[in-house]
Amino acid sequence: MGLLARAIMGTAEEVVEIESLEKSLLEENERETEAVLYAASFREMEHRFVKYQTVQWVLYSVLLILAWGIGFLMLLYLPVRRFILRKDIRSRTLYLTPNAIVYKITRPVPFPCFGVLKKEKHVLLHSVADVVVEQGYMQSLFGVYSLRIENVGVRRPPSDDVKIEGVANPNAFRKAVMMRLSNMRNEVMSRQVSTFEDVPNHLMMSTSKSLKHDYKPSREQLLMQKLEEVGSSVKRIQSLFEEQQSQTTESID
CB under 8 Å, gap of 24 or more: what pairs does 23-27 form?
25/99, 25/124, 25/126, 26/100, 26/122, 26/124
Tell me the domain boundaries of the chain: 14-194
List C-alpha distances in Å: 231 to 162, 166, 236.
Answer: 88, 97, 9
The larger pLDDT score, comparing residue 236 to residue 58, is at 58
Kindly report which listed range (108-117, 147-156, 159-168, 208-217) carries the lowest average pLDDT score: 208-217
12 residue type, one letter: A
pLDDT at residue 220 greater than cutoff 80? no
Please report which confidence band the pLDDT of residue 141 belongs to, taking 50, 70 and 90 as the band edges: very high
Candidates 83, 101, 96, 94; CA nearest to 46 is: 83
For 84, the enclosing helix (H) or strand (E) is: helix 78-91
pLDDT tens digit string along 74-115?
999 999 999 999 999 999 999 999 999 999 999 888 888 888
CATH of 14-194, one of 2.30.29.30, 1.10.10.10, 3.30.460.80, 3.40.50.300: 2.30.29.30
Residue 84's contacts (CB-CB under 8 Å, 6 or more residues apart) are 107, 108, 110, 112
What's the pLDDT score for residue 5? 40
For the chain, the first-to-last Cα distance in angstroms comes to 120
Q: What is the 3-state secondary structure (H, E, C) of 92-109?
A: CEEEECCCEEEEEEEEEC
Strands 93-96 and 116-124: unpaired
What whole-number distance in Å separates Cα of residue 51 and Cα of residue 56? 9
pLDDT tens digit string along 44-83?
999 999 999 999 999 999 988 877 778 888 999 999 999 9
pLDDT at residue 249 greater than cutoff 60? no
Residue 176's contacts (CB-CB under 8 Å, 6 or more residues apart) are 37, 38, 96
Rg (CA), the chain: 40
Q: Are 126 and 101 in contact (CB under 8 A)?
A: no
What's the pLDDT score for residue 16? 44
Segment of 3-12, 31-40, 84-93 carrying the highest mean pLDDT: 84-93
What's the pLDDT score for residue 200? 57
* 185-215 burial code (b ≥16 CB/10 A, e <16): eeeeeeeeeeeeeeeeeeeeeeeeeeeeeee
Q: Are 11 and 155 in contact (CB under 8 A)?
A: yes
pLDDT at residue 7 greater than cutoff 50? no
What would the mean pLDDT of 188-206 be, rounded to a whole number? 66
What percentage of the chain has pLDDT greater than the value 70?
60
What's the pLDDT score for residue 8? 40
What whole-number distance in Å separates Cα of residue 157 and Cα of residue 151? 9
Q: Are 85 and 144 in contact (CB under 8 A)?
A: no
